[in-house]
Each structure stands twice: as structure tokens, then as C-alpha cells.
Amino acid sequence: MEPSLVGEEEEGGGRFRASEHQHARYNPLRDDWVLVSAHRVKRPWQGQVEKPPPEDVPRWDPKNPLCPGATRANGEVNPQYEGTFVFPNDFPALQPDAPEPGDSDHPLFRAAAARGVCKVMCFHPWSDLTLPLMSLAEIRAVIDAWAELAAELGASYPWVQIFENKGAMMGCSNPHPHCQVWASSFLPNEAHLEDRTQRQHLTQHSVPMLLEYAEQEALRKERLVVENADWLVVVPYWATWPYQTLLLPRRHVCRLQDLREDERDSLASIMQRLLIKYDNLFEVSFPYSMGWHGAPTGPYLEEDCRHWQLHAHYYPPLLRSATVRKFMVGYEMLAQAQRDLTPEQAAERLRSLPEVHYKQRTKETS
């Protein structure tokens, strides 16, 4: 299905087709543009080939600092945890008691205070499990722990960033299923940008941007990957990464901790379905960086944040296979983001994949 684009007209002797002709798409959430060059998908690949992730990860390794009973770098011994496990990051990027920088002597050389806390959260005691291979009850426990941390740290900090880097390709050196949670005394750049764009949209259109966007995508279907009664996942119209997705609630929800019990259950289900499709795409443990964005907290809890809509971003790097990734270099670094595969093509491919994990299918047929 061709996406609904303004300007699909006869021009220069031919009709514009988004799947064949280059064009730019606007991202209202970031207030920027992405160049879509679908015709480049046909070019032969002679670039870097990555090593696929290892498939023989031991379930428990006494030398792995994230395993139950293991000793971490600071000498502390992990408990024999059986569910989720949260602990302070042994090498935090933010600390609560950092001194303030001095006054700047020139406007081109400004510095500001940056304080906070960093935590690590293990999803499961087993190192050879990832979220798509966990049970719905185990994924639900992860969601509850996320919401608890968001509320606890958000009581005092303006921003709580929950994020998961999965796979060595995304800089994750430890295969044990885990994420990080950084709470900061300031709004980071992406949060500040999304706050501005969503506020402007509500002012101009009297509806939260991502609530309206979810309603539109549910109707159009062409970029839909999976959906249920409470959630939908789309490859966004403005996606930059090849198989980038956006996870959205159907009702207006500002923060993760505001989710109802049934919405947390259905979130566990749709996360599992999406992540199984990701793994099935190239039959590999699919690398990505993901994270939650919601209304700011701390002092913002007393402010009107109706312009915000809770959402999760998934940014996977793989492009053509388990070993060929997209690089953000050259034009992307110096001009603007660019993609080859259209979001509609990516969504159709993900949508068509089975929802039984390839490892489980292998076991059933063996």
C-alpha cells in the first residue's frame, strides 16, 4: 500500500510513488525532516559486516556481575534474586552530590549543574533469556518495576529515563537481560524538544499530538505492526532507523506510573509480540536501543502536562540481515537523517512475520 502523501501527482511524465522516488518526511515530534530514498534499497552491499550475537550464552556465570550471587566491581555481592533486581550503577554517569560549575566568563563557554542517580535493573535471573522469550507474567513484573522506579525517582527528579541497550551492536557488553534508569536534575535535550513540540501541537490543534497520531495510524493501517485493545505499535511515518517502531497507548496517558492494571497486562502482551517479530526478522536476538518518554516529573508534577502522551521508542540498527547494519554517518551527521527502506515497507515486513519465536518453532519441529 502506498502511503498517503500530498503531491502524488503526474510530474515530469510520471506519477510519484513513495516506494520508488526520493522525498522528505516531516517529524513533528522532533521538528525535523528525514530523507527517504527507497530506490537505494536495490544497491549491492559492500560495506561492513557485523558478527551475529552469540547463541550459547550460559544461563548462570559466577563471573557475570549481573547474575544472582555474583560479585560486582565494587565488591558487593548480588542477592539470589528470582525476579527483577534493581541496584545503583557501580559506574554512574550522574551523581546526586556533584558540585556546581563556576560562573562562565563568556557566553560561548557555558556550563550548568548536572546531578542525578543511575540504577541498573535486571529483568530476570537467567542470562540466556531476553524479553521476547520471557513469560507474560515476567514481562509484567518488569513493567511494574519500571513504573515503581519512575514514581520513586520522579518524586524529586524532573526526568527519569528508562532505557535498554540490547546487543553488543548497541554498545551493550553484557548479555544478561537488563536496562538502565537515569534520573536527572534537568530535562535532557530530547525531553526538552518533545515537551516543546507536543505543547505547540496541543495549543494549535486542541488534542495531544501522539494521541491524534495513534488514532490516525489505527485508521490508516499501512504502518501498523501489532495492536490490541489498549496499545498499538507502528513504524512511524517519519522513522529514521530501518525497523524503528513507536509504541503508543490508545487512551491519553501522561506517565508510565499512570497505567491501569489491565493496561500493564496488555502492554506486556504487545511488547512480547513486537519483540518476537523483531527476533524473527533475521532469526537472531535483535539488537536495539529502546526507552520510555512521558511527562516530566519532580516539580512538573504540579504543572499542566496534558500535552504529553506516554510512548516508547525502539531504535534497531539492522538493515538487510543479521550482519548488515545502518550507519548514521556522512550525510546523516552533516545534513539530515536519511533512510532507504520506506516505513510502509518495513511495517509490512514486520507485520507479516509469525508471532511464535523462531527458537520455539525450532524446538517444536525437532
Does the annotation place 293 within a ligand binding site?
yes
178 is catalytic: yes
**Is 10 known as a binding-site position?**
no
Say if residue 327 carries a ligand binding annotation: yes
Q: Which residues contact 234 (CB under 8 A, 6 or more apart)?
A: 217, 223, 224, 225, 245, 246, 248, 347
Question: Does the annotation flag 336 for ligand binding?
Answer: no
Cα separation, 366 vs 356, whole angstroms: 15
Using alpha carbons only, give the angle 181, 30, 296 rounded to the nearest 5 degrees. Answer: 40
Q: Distance between CA atoms of 66 and 151, rounded to whole angstroms? A: 24
Q: Is 171 annotated as a binding residue?
A: yes
Active-site annotation holder among 178, 201, 307, 357 = 178
Q: For 341-344, which contacts have Cβ atoms below 8 Å and span 24 or more sequence positions?
A: 341/38, 341/41, 341/242, 342/3, 342/18, 342/19, 342/36, 342/38, 343/3, 343/36, 343/223, 343/235, 343/236, 343/237, 343/238, 343/239, 344/1, 344/2, 344/3, 344/18, 344/19, 344/222, 344/223, 344/235
Q: Is 200 flagged in the annotation as binding?
A: no
Annotated ligand binding at 311? The verdict is: yes
Say whether 43 counts as a known binding-site residue. yes
300 annotated ligand binder:
no
Q: Is 313 annotated as a binding residue?
A: yes
CA angle 182, 87, 259 (to 5 degrees): 60
Task: Read off φ and ψ for residue 299, nearest 5 degrees.
Answer: -65, -20
CA distances from 71 to 64, 79, 361 (A): 8, 10, 36
Place of cell 550482519: 323
Residue 349 marked as a ligand binder: no
16 is in an annotated binding site: no
189 is in an annotated binding site: no
Going from the C-alpha of 122 to that of each of 70, 95, 119, 164, 175, the distances in angstroms are 13, 21, 10, 11, 11
Of 301, 320, 286, which is closest to residue 160 (Cα–Cα)?
A: 301
Q: State the binding site for UDP-alpha-D-glucose.
A: 40-43, 73, 89-90, 165, 171-173, 180, 326-327, 331-332, 338
Q: State the binding site.
A: 40-43, 73, 89-90, 165, 171-173, 180, 194, 293, 311, 313, 326-327, 331-332, 338
Q: State the binding site for Fe cation.
A: 194, 293, 311, 313
Q: Which residues are catalytic?
A: 178
